[in-house]
Amino acid sequence: MILEDWHTHSSFCRHATGNLEQYVKAAIIKKLGVIGLSAHFPYDVLDGIENMPYHEYSMPKDELDSFVLNAINLREKYKNQVSVKIGFELDFVEKQVDKHHEYLERYSDQIDYIIGSIHNLETHFGLFAFDDFRFLKYYDKFEDTDEIYMNYFKTMQAMISSEQFHFTTIGHFDLPKKFKILPNNKELIMKEGIKALKMAKKRDVVIEINTSGLRKPIKEQYPSKEFIKEMFNLGIDVVLGSDAHHPNELAYEFELLTTLLKKIGYERLAHFDKGIISYIKI
Ligand SMILES: [Zn+2]
Ligand SMILES: [Zn+2]
């Protein structure tokens, strides 16, 4: 079985190790069919980011050309060994959806897919980077963890229903569980998550099975098995993503997850070529 990894980060993203070519070479060694180069989209196009270490979250916008050109060159150089796909992991910040547009349009004929992700929540004290451990000290600004989860899934629903926000794939669907700070009212949060899944089906976007959660305190992929079962029942397609921040993490635990997906009933994975979806069998 030839597997595809649709979620990776490189030194362009500042907090990840390895240049793009090292990732492509690692993908060839691991015999992957696709290596998706999905840099975090630049944060310096957004407002209100002063209280977060945003220069550690992504490349600055003046490196976008260099990232895309570098990726195009690698796509050509290694085309007989692995299919290099070019994407971005794009943050959804509800009030600033339009901020990315002019840059994304510039590269639209080169981009294969976009992962829509939520790493920051709009709160009464500004943008809250809930998945950055340095922001754990702000968790007590909320009444309880349910408030964070509710804010997150409401934001997820807003992302999915935003006509202005263009994306193909939902990234790490239940990310707030990362540090194993779980909801009090699991049922309530599940319900809110399932509401987002139904919207995702309606919009016809795919959801990634992101294995980075297995390397985090929660020790579980995103989304949970319970959510994946709901996704299968709704007929939502999936892709695999390691969210590698080092070339060694490429295709992390993909065999384990492929086995789980098959057990749940999945027989295919999605694949993107310039935004057009097709499928591979598993
Ligand atoms: Zn990252
Ligand atoms: Zn992410």
22: CA distance to ligand 1 center in Å? 17
Range of the domain at 51: 4-281
* Residue 261: per-residue pLDDT: 98
Instruction: Check pLDDT > 90 for residue 125.
Output: no
133: CA distance to ligand 1 center in Å? 13
> What is the percent of the chain with per-residue pLDDT over 90, rounded to a whole number?
93
Instruction: Check pLDDT > 90 for residue 101.
Output: no
171: CA distance to ligand 2 center in Å? 6
Number of domains within the chain: 1
14: CA distance to ligand 1 center in Å? 8
User: Where are the strands (E) in 76-213, listed by range?
Assistant: 83-91, 113-117, 121-123, 126-128, 169-170, 206-210
- Report the C-alpha gap between 65 and 70 in whole angstroms: 8
pLDDT digits (tens, 9 = 90+) for 75-88: 999 999 999 999 99
Give the number of the ligand closest to the Cα of residue 57: 1
Instruction: Check pLDDT > 90 for residue 124.
Output: no
119: CA distance to ligand 2 center in Å? 7
* Residue 263: per-residue pLDDT: 98
pTM of the predicted model over 0.85 = yes
173: CA distance to ligand 2 center in Å? 10
* Residue 48: per-residue pLDDT: 84
The protein residues having their C-beta less than 5 angstroms from ligand 1 (an ion) are 9
User: Regarding beta strands 34-40 and 4-5, do their DSSP bridges make them parallel or antiparallel, or are they unpaired?
Assistant: parallel
Of the pLDDT bands very low, low, confident and very high (cuts 50, 70, 90), residue 146 is very high
7: CA distance to ligand 2 center in Å? 9
Residues in the chain: 282
User: Regarding beta strands 126-128 and 121-123, do their DSSP bridges make them parallel or antiparallel, or are they unpaired?
Assistant: antiparallel
Other C-beta atoms closer than 10 Å to the C-beta of 201 total 17
Instruction: Check pLDDT > 90 for residue 50.
Output: no
Instruction: Check pLDDT > 90 for residue 51.
Output: no
pLDDT digits (tens, 9 = 90+) for 230-262: 999 999 999 999 999 999 999 999 999 999 999
Other C-beta atoms closer than 10 Å to the C-beta of 136 total 12
DSSP string over 177-215: GTTS---S-HHHHHHHHHHHHHHHHHHT-EEEEEGGGGG
16: CA distance to ligand 1 center in Å? 7
pLDDT (mean) for 170-175: 98
pLDDT digits (tens, 9 = 90+) for 199-218: 999 999 999 999 999 999 99
Mean predicted lDDT score pLDDT of the chain:
96
Q: What is the CATH number of the domain that holds 237?
A: 3.20.20.140
Instruction: Check pLDDT > 90 for residue 4.
Output: yes
Kindly report which listed range (33-37, 48-52, 111-115, 259-263) carries the lowest average pLDDT score: 48-52
225: CA distance to ligand 2 center in Å? 19
Give the number of the ligand closest to the Cα of residue 131: 2
* Residue 49: per-residue pLDDT: 87
2: CA distance to ligand 2 center in Å? 24
